[in-house]
Amino acid sequence: MASSNSVNLSKIKKQLSQKNIKLGGKLNFHSDASNKVFQLCKTANKNFLLLSFQNCPSDYVKYIRAGKVLNNLAVSTPKILEQHKYQRYVLMEYYPIDNSSKYYQKPEIKNILSASVKSIINLQKKRKRFSGIPIKSKQNLIKNASQGIETYIDYYDHKIQIGYYLNKLIQQSIKKNFDKLQKYTPTLTHGDFFLDNLIYFKKKLFVIDHQDLHYNHPCLDIASLIFDARRTYSPKLEEKVIKDYARKSGRSLSQFRDDIHMVGLARNLRILGNWVNLYRAGKTHYLKRFRKHTWLQILKHAEHLRLWDLRELFEEIYKKTK
Residue 147: strand, helix, or coil: helix
Q: What predicted TM-score, i.e. pTM, was given to this entire model? A: 0.92
Distance in angstroms (rounded) separating the CA atoms of residues 141 and 156: 23
- What does pLDDT average to over the chain? 92
* Beta-sheet strand order (sheet of 89-93): 22-27, 37-42, 47-52, 89-93, 80-84
Does residue 244 have a pLDDT over 70? yes
Which residues in 53-118 belong to E strands, given as ranges?
Answer: 80-84, 89-93
22-31, 111-120, 260-269, 309-318 — which is least confidently predicted? Answer: 22-31
Distant-in-sequence, close-in-space partners of 163: CB < 8 Å, separation ≥ 6:
153, 154, 156, 157
- Which pLDDT score is estimated for 33? 62
Query: pLDDT confidence of 308, banded at 50, 70, 90?
Result: very high
17 or 181: which carries more pLDDT confidence? 181
- Which pLDDT score is estimated for 5? 39
Helices (H) and strands (E) counted in the chain, each on its own, are 11, 9
As a three-state string, the secondary structure of 234-289 is CHHHHHHHHHHHHHHHCCCHHHHHHHHHHHHHHHHHHHHHHHHHHHHCCCCHHHHH
**What are the structural domains, with CATH classification, of the chain?**
6-93 (3.30.200.20), 100-321 (3.90.1200.10)
